[in-house]
Amino acid sequence: MSEYQICKRCVMDNVGDPNIVFDENGYCNYCSTALALKPNYPEKGDLSKVKALFDTIKEACKDDPYDCLVGVSGGLDSSYIIYLGHKFGLRMLGIHIDDGLDTELAKQNIKNLCKKAQVELINLQPDPEQYRDLTLSFFKAGVPNLAIPQDNLILGALTKAVKDYRLKYLLHGSNYSMECILQEGNSYTAADDVHIRGIQKKFSGKPIDKLPLTTTFENSILKRLRKDVIRVKPLNLMDYRFDNALQELYDFCGYEYYGAKHHESVLTRFMQCWYLPEKFAADKRKSHLSSLVITGQISREEALDRLAQPKYPSEEMKEADFNTLASFLGISRGEFDELLSQPPHSHDEYPKSVLSNKIVPFLLKIRDALCVRRR
């Protein structure tokens, strides 16, 4: 076992992360790469690129029912996209996957936000029996990313909505400001239906034909070949800041924060607070907080202080989440606890498509390397 080491610039460390590398100064590869990309993003107060983009969208779509499509999770980033679009007069169509595991606060935030922003929301509910069984299969597989089924369905729903409504623009909430550092090695793409079907076959064998799964080819290749759909990330065209975004959303529609990233869903909150740290020694807070450190939103000392706090906000919330998930999966609490006691497994132990596992990651690494070298 290697000696413990933590980055001297951010708070990434070598616990549960085989991909981290430190240079002679004690700085990690994650923040070094993030800092190399930082000059690509606008300075504080500059919304000129956002306005120019939205003006282009409005002009291109002036004769259409909607200007663009937005995936809605209830999280801060996608919520701010809707607020920003409303501020600049976009007519947005929202898509939300309601898998039955949204927190009550997330439901209220989505309702208030879409009402105030006058966004028509398509609320899609996956077939409950097949979705429950597929999610249970992922728990039995013991892989890190239990949210792959839900993430795959939202990818497919966005692709379908673009076609059905003949939309030209898709707005995405991913951003440099809060996601410039993301730990590798403990996840896998949600777009690989070969992986999903392989896990379902091994641990259940029941059909999932009522779940409209997307494929790697469709998500990674076809969508890039389509010239009629433009995917944009508006938050990368401005100096996007956590505190400012949260205050603006609160003033706009009474939006309330969940306390941490990905806590809008019971499943992803459970993953962040217990499942990944306990079974895989992967504390995703390190990535989230390191991103804020590198973009100058908090100090490294503040990040370390936050990491010292309990992962679950309270023991009562932890118990409630465990009970909710057991009930959702259709098993007893004892059976749920038994599932969690099983050894962890890697996504590599189950079928993967060559496109998802080899080709696409290779191409993305080349792309990222070229972005850094251009600076």
| pLDDT value for 280 | 94
Q: Which residues pair with 190 in a beta bridge?
A: none
| pLDDT value for 1 | 56
- For residue 254, the one-letter residue type is G
Look at residue 20 and tell me if it is in a domain. no
| pLDDT value for 226 | 56
Look at residue 6 and tell me if it is in a domain. no
Q: Let me know: does 90 contact 53? Beta carbons within 8 Å.
A: no
Look at residue 284 and tell me if it is in a domain. yes
The 10 Å CB-count burial string (b at 16+, else e) for 330-364 is: ebeeeebeebbeeebeebeebebbebbbeebeeee
Look at residue 8 and tell me if it is in a domain. no
CATH code for position 245 = 3.40.50.620
What one-character-per-residue DSSP string does 268-301 give? Answer: HHHIIIIIHHHHH---THHHHHHHHHHTTSS-HH
Look at residue 349 and tell me if it is in a domain. yes
Enter the pTM of the model. 0.91
What one-character-per-residue DSSP string does 19-41 give? Answer: T--B-TTS-BHHHHHHHHHGGGS
Which residues span the domain enclosing 43? 29-373
Helix 193-203 crosses helix 148-164 at what angle (to 10 degrees)? Answer: 130
- For residue 332, the one-letter residue type is S
Look at residue 16 and tell me if it is in a domain. no
Look at residue 24 and tell me if it is in a domain. no
Q: Let me know: does 151 contact 262? Beta carbons within 8 Å.
A: no
| pLDDT value for 41 | 86
3-state secondary structure of 231: strand
> Which DSSP helix (H) or strand (E) runs through 327?
helix 315-329
First to last CA, the chain: 36
Tell me whether residue 74 is exposed, middle or buried, using C-beta atoms within 10 angstroms of its C-beta: 0 to 12, 13 to 18, 19 or more. Answer: buried
Distance of CA 186 to the CA centre of its chain: 14
HSE of 371, CA atoms in CB hemisphere, 13 A: 15
What total of structural domains would you count in the chain? 1
- Please report, in tens digits, the pLDDT of each residue of the chain (375 residues total): 579 999 999 999 999 888 899 999 999 999 999 999 988 887 777 899 999 999 999 999 999 999 999 999 999 999 999 999 999 999 999 999 999 999 999 999 999 999 999 999 999 999 999 999 999 999 999 999 999 999 999 999 998 898 899 999 999 999 999 999 998 777 888 989 999 999 999 999 999 999 999 887 776 655 555 556 788 999 999 999 999 999 999 999 999 999 999 999 999 999 999 999 999 999 999 999 999 999 999 999 999 999 999 999 999 999 999 999 999 999 999 999 999 999 999 999 999 987 755 555 555 555 445 444 443
Q: Let me know: does 208 contact 197? Beta carbons within 8 Å.
A: yes
Look at residue 38 and tell me if it is in a domain. yes
| pLDDT value for 225 | 53
